[in-house]
Amino acid sequence: MKQLWAPWRMSFINDAKEEKPSCIFCHLPQDLNDKKNLILYRGELAFVIMNKYPYNSGHIMVAPYAHAASLSKLDDDSLIELSSLTKVSVAIIEKLFKPDGLNVGMNIGRAGGAGFDKHVHMHIVPRWNGDFNFMPLLAETKVMPEHLETTYEKMLPLFKEIEPL
């Protein structure tokens, strides 16, 4: 039998036991420790943050600072910056990771699959041919090829190059 080494999983297990702040998209940007919180970019009305429990390496989210449960609740300026940051983030992921494809989208509302259903946010997930294998199906385990901190350090310089939107 082969062992699967995934030391980052312990933080997932421990985090699941801890009481969560009401909204990570409101709480985390207030803390200025961007590296700890995996924040890659801060705009005027929106920001880019890595998903702490990614589907694939490079899985990021773009969120407005405004606490809104749906796109229809955002003001036009926030929506424009959210869209612009999504476009720039896609370009960065394409340049850095060279994926075969991307999943870009939102889960709005609990019934829509949103984990944080009170704060709208965009997911950007790089995809590669063959990135889905038997592990999630049979072992309920996703194998991540790179540690979050390593991915963060790769992505950060490209996000620092973004001109203010």
CATH number for position 88: 3.30.428.10
CA distances from 130 to 85, 99, 102 (A): 28, 11, 13
Q: Hey, which residues are catalytic here? A: 121
More confident residue, 21 or 95: 95
Residue 153 lies in a domain: yes
Largest CA distance in the chain: 55
Residue 88 lies in a domain: yes
Q: What is the pLDDT of residue 12?
A: 55
Residue range of the domain that includes 143: 19-160
- Eight-class DSSP state of 31: S
Count other C-beta atoms under 10 Å from residue 28's C-beta: 19
pLDDT digits (tens, 9 = 90+) for 43-84: 999 999 999 988 889 999 999 999 999 999 999 999 999 999
pLDDT digits (tens, 9 = 90+) for 119-133: 999 999 999 887 664
For the segment 90-113, the average pLDDT, to the nearest whole number, is: 93
For the segment 100-127, the average pLDDT, to the nearest whole number, is: 91
Residue 7 lies in a domain: no
In the structure encoding, which two tokens stand for residue 7, read together? 């030391």
> Virtual CA dihedral for 145, 102, 115, 68, nearest 10 degrees?
140
Residue 37 lies in a domain: yes
In the structure encoding, which two tokens stand for residue 9, read together? 């999983």
State whether residue 86 is helix, strand or coil: helix
